[in-house]
Amino acid sequence: MKAIITGGTKGIGYATCELFLENGVDIAINSRSETDLKAVKAEFESRFPDRQILIKATDVSQKDQVIAFADYVKSEWPVIDILVNNAGLYVGGQIHTEADEVLENQIATNLYSAVHLSKHILPVMLTRKKGTVINICSIASIMSYPNSASYSISKFALHGFTKVLRDEMKDKGIRVVAILPGATWSNAWGEVDLPKERLMQARDIALTIWNAIQLSDSAVVEDIIIRPQLGDL
């Protein structure tokens, strides 16, 4: 199998790449940092020498760069089995006081990137009437959190896009899955001083993604809510 994972160098993206490679899946990943991409590619190639790893530096908030990434992957792979729209951005703030650019940038990164990439990858899946699109939403896709106004708006919109796309693809053999994680260890949390067990591990989310992919073609997990055992922060 061949899978695209956006934002594949850190957090949930990295853990998903690692799990896919462990299970014999070739991966194509992007990140804004070419340095990070090259480092992750070198690491994974040393650990998984039989797997193909494609990389391309991409600012997913920029439509032209998202399309260029899609075109690059399609030029290398005639078949794409899995698309994981994982890349995202969190900037805290309140909608009535923050600058307009805060919302605009998070919408571009968290929503438009998934829309544009899906639209350019789906034709490859549709020719085979087979494939899985997984959008990494958030618990903030279904409820608001303090000081997370624009982030919640963008994730609500991503969840809505997932529902629309699922309805459009359900008779075309394409499964569309929304993963809604709660607090998960990632760069977004910085160096917060909390016990390891207080937040979920990124691999927990990767395992959830992998399990959703393993279902038969006649089944789809529509929404998966996964939260820390002790509750969100």
Catalytic residue set: 151
Opening angle at CA 75, ends 161 and 40, nearest 5: 75
Instruction: Report the Cα 193 to chain-centroid distance in Å.
Output: 26
206 closest CA partner among 233, 176, 185: 185
Give the chain's end-to-end CA distance (angstroms, integer): 36
157 closest CA partner among 88, 77, 68: 88
Separation of alpha carbons 203 and 128, rounded Å: 30
